[in-house]
Amino acid sequence: MFEQNQICKLLGIKYPIFQGGMAWIGTAELASAVSNAGGLGIIGAGHMPPDLLQKEIQKCKGWTDKPFGVNIMLMSPFVKEVMKVVVDERIPVVTTGAGNPGEYIPALKGIGSKVIPVVASVALAKRLVRTGVDAVIAEGTESGGHVGDITTMALVPQIADAVDVPVIAAGGVGDSRGMTAVFALGASGVQIGTRFVLSEECIAHPNYKNFVLKASDRSTVVTGRSTGHPVRVIKNKLTREFEELERKNAPVEEIEKLGAGKLNLATHKGDVENGSVMIGQISGMLHDIKPVARIIEDLVGGIPAVVDSMQSRLR
């Protein structure tokens, strides 16, 4: 399976499964485990300073000889320094978010990197393809963390129809059913974050993982829409404070200040009431913590049964 898949051939990986580049928890531990299991592990640079990113990259290189990537948040205050680290370390795959990577593409192409931005609209996908990117990640609003407005079901086929590069679907995929569905929508691969949070290798605080395990289908909410940078998280004391500020039409600066440092508070210190528990809408269907290799094995191994079941319903 997947021997002729576009993404697998492009990147030299066994399965067309990307691990989401999650800030603070998309570390070398998780990225190397995903790559070793046949997917594409991704270190989430977030707002990481360049020296810390370099350490994560060096750890990942020590733990896997398979391809892995780095996700770069283009709004990071360290973006130029981080890009230099990525070029110096000759990272084979770079995914980007929150902006246009165009100015960095020549340097990345110069070292042979594949550049794959996250997009949340057809217009953005078409614009970035014109800059020379190798593929796009079409991310639906079901995702955890920073999100757009369009659902995966609606977004993926429209982007697949609009661009001539491979499309990786993200948002709302946590099992073989979801993975099979995005291929039907026109995707060549899938990016998964939430399911990998509930892996043994993810370094998120046990409180964070347990909070996700307790989530239901309606446990997440999107905060910060008024700032232009909406984020999907699990409802808690912090989200209620966000909602109160937005009801009062508080200045954007005040709302953004409330969110400062809150992801680390949840992921590393385990404060899941006052911290930001970024997670996708599929959290309600996840009920266990497994090794990464088992997660990927289950995702891929379950596809034939899903296809058989689907065919029986189509007869």
Residue-wise pLDDT tens digits, 261-309 = 899 999 999 999 999 999 999 999 999 999 999 999 999 999 999 999 9
pLDDT of 248 over the 90 cut: no
Instruction: Give the C-alpha separation, 286 to 160, whole Å.
Output: 28
DSSP track, 1-20:
--TT-HHHHHHT-SS-EEEP
Tell me if residue 297 falls in helix, strand or coil: helix
87 vs 257, more confident: 87
Tell me if residue 136 falls in helix, strand or coil: strand
Q: Which residues, 6 or more positions from 268, have their beta carbon under 8 angstroms from its beta carbon?
A: 24, 205
pTM over 0.85: yes
**With bands split at pLDDT 50, 70 and 90, how would you rate the model's confidence at 99?**
confident
Whether domain 15-203+286-309 has CATH 3.20.20.70: yes
Give the N- to C-terminal CA distance of the chain in Å, as an integer: 24
Q: Which residues, 6 or more positions from 172, have their beta carbon under 8 angstroms from its beta carbon?
A: 140, 142, 143, 151, 152, 153, 178, 280, 281, 282
pLDDT of 250 over the 90 cut: no
Domain with CATH 3.20.20.70 in the chain: 15-203+286-309
Unique residue bearing structure tokens 């992921």: 267
Tell me if residue 199 falls in helix, strand or coil: strand
**With bands split at pLDDT 50, 70 and 90, how would you rate the model's confidence at 84?**
very high
Beta bridge partners of 145: 232
Q: Give the pLDDT confidence of 163-200 residue by residue, as tens digits.
A: 999 999 999 999 999 999 999 999 999 999 999 999 99
Q: Where are the beta strands (DSSP E) in 79-219?
A: 93-97, 114-119, 136-139, 145-146, 167-170, 189-192
26 vs 77, more confident: 26
Edge-to-edge order in the sheet of strand 145-146:
145-146, 231-234, 220-223
**With bands split at pLDDT 50, 70 and 90, how would you rate the model's confidence at 251?**
confident
